[in-house]
Amino acid sequence: MSRSSHHSPHREEKLELLAKHVSDVESDSDIFEEKARFSLTPSRRILTAPWIYARSTSWRPLLLLRLGVFLIPSFLQGRHAREQIRPAHLSPTAYLDGMRGLAALVVFFCHYFYQAFIIAEGWGAGETNYHLLKLPFIRLFYQGPPAVCLFFVISGYALSYRPLKLVRSRAPADLATAISSLVFRRGIRLYLPTAISTLLIVCLLRVGAYEWTREFATDRTYMKNVVETHPPRMEFASDQLLDWAKHMYRFVHVFDWNQFGGSTHYDVHLWTIPVEFRCSLYLFLVLIGTARLQAKFRFTIVGGIMWFVYSHSRWGLLLFLCGMVLAEMDLIRGAHKTSSPDLLLCKLAPVRRPRWKRLFWAGLALVGLYLMCQPDLKGNITPGWVWLHSQIPIWWRADPYRYYQSLGAVVFAYAVGHSPSWQAFFNTAPVQYLGKISYALYLMHGPALHCIGYHWERMAYAITGVDGYWYNVGFVLGAVFCIPTVVWCADIFWRAVDIPTVKFAKWVESKCIVQA
């Protein structure tokens, strides 16, 4: 039957010539296909039902609407989304999430700054390093290596806290379950998001997104210091995917201690992920091996292991073990005991502590921050660091700057654990938001900068020019647009990939374990 222009839709509906779920914009052939459905066998009806539904439903506007809402940053969405970022009830260790979030932001700043300026040298090292931003403490806003050290301390603490709590509760069965779960899910937690982020880079390469900024990425007119690797685009997509798969295979780098082993040119910033995985496995082994010991013997054994690790300059593993020690020390002193499972921050009045204690922990935190300011280069001629640099053992084989930066990260984390004021700062809503998106921010700042950020920078320099002081103005103007762009991309990746990855790891575990 063909449609006539004089037939009204109302009359046709009465005659049941139009099904209610058929779109008003369908052609005659669509209606014939709908009729043909009734001649299919039952088995074929089941197989073709989803396709027929998709063809006959006006789902596209709804999909576009949902996509548009999803692309809105979570902190601009409704109350429910904001409560996910910072719920009213924060766990007692939530400040560590905030600390991790700020560290991730600093790493991003580092990779933005070091393309334009020499940031590895401290104030007063040489004749040109007298800029205000190179002074101690101020330089921590863009100094990436100390932030990585803080990452490792926090990871060691977070991974050890619950197992050690079960150890001290004399709950061996629960401990076995907890350790097994941590080991099983750790690889998924670390590597699935990185596989997705690097695969996204491959897709961006194939559609030409990296080609739009390739010339700018290597232009010394703008990149006056570090020129980051801009991933190459291969001729064939199959070759690109095969190359990506090989890189991901090498990325699971657990069999030697090469610092940048497993690093991939698809995102050079991800070298810390194999280090995290390797150190996590060693940490789990230490937790299992010392679980049945008395606390004093556990501290003794772990202290011996730490000395052995230190003497071999394995600073990453040393920081993980330091995090484990800090976690048990907090458990011993009951640092995170509250009257309820969660800490209702907005209703608890601050506990007054002796003034000398507050000053002591604040001062110790400043000592830790100063040690984290150790320059990456020329520490031996930097004012305030000449003597300290001379005290680094001659057998220390790692980069010299890792020595005091690692020590400073441990001291700072230890001091913050005793300082309600510092914890309150890390529990503020903006910092907690950074904590939520910290892993996504770490994974996304590279591709977001290379694909979108470089566009902003190029436009900024086109406005300001690159001569003298105007280069700095262009750098700041580019940052005004680059920072929100990177945070926005991280927010999307957090909701689209990071949160589902955590749920997926738990789901896989639930399907694989032996049910009691």
pLDDT of residue 48: 58
pLDDT of residue 35: 45
| Cβ 230 vs Cβ 450: under 8 Å | yes
Q: How far apart are CA 139 and CA 121, in angstroms?
A: 10
- Classify the phi-psi angles of 307: left when phi > 0, otherwise alpha if psi is within -120 to 50, otherwise beta: alpha
Buried b / exposed e along 396-425 (16+ C-beta atoms within 10 A): eebebbbbbbbbbbbbbbbbbbbbbebbee
Kindly report the pTM of this predicted structure. Answer: 0.85
Q: pLDDT truncated to tens, each residue of the chain (516 aa)?
A: 444 444 444 444 443 433 444 344 444 444 344 444 445 555 555 555 555 555 555 666 777 777 777 778 888 876 556 556 666 688 899 999 999 999 999 999 999 999 999 999 999 998 888 999 999 999 999 999 999 999 999 999 999 999 999 999 999 999 999 999 999 999 999 999 999 999 999 999 999 999 999 999 999 999 999 999 999 999 999 999 999 999 999 999 888 888 788 889 999 999 999 999 999 999 999 999 999 999 999 999 999 999 999 999 999 999 999 999 999 999 999 988 754 444 444 444 555 778 888 999 999 999 999 999 999 999 999 999 999 999 999 999 889 999 999 999 999 999 999 999 999 999 999 999 999 999 999 999 999 999 999 999 999 999 999 999 999 999 999 999 999 999 999 999 999 999 999 999 999 999 999 886
Residues in the chain: 516
Q: How far apart are CA 209 and CA 219, in angstroms?
A: 17
Q: Label each residue of 180-223 as H, E or C.
A: HHHHHHHHHHHHHHHHHHHHHHHHHHHCCCCHHHHHHHCCCCCC
**Of 516, 327, 342, whose CA–CA distance to 427 is shortest?**
342
Q: How far apart are CA 513 and CA 449, in angstroms?
A: 41
CA end-to-end span of the chain, whole Å?
62
pLDDT of residue 34: 45
pLDDT of residue 256: 81
CB atoms within 10 A of CB 202: 19
pLDDT of residue 73: 87
pLDDT of residue 477: 98
Only one residue has tokens 């049945």, namely 292
CB atoms within 10 A of CB 21: 11
CB atoms within 10 A of CB 213: 20
pLDDT of residue 63: 76
| Cβ 159 vs Cβ 280: under 8 Å | yes
* DSSP, res 87: -
Q: Where are the domains of the chain?
A: 9-58, 90-335+358-512
pLDDT of residue 62: 74
**Of 139, 141, 118, 115, whose CA–CA distance to 128 is shortest?**
118
| Cβ 145 vs Cβ 405: under 8 Å | yes
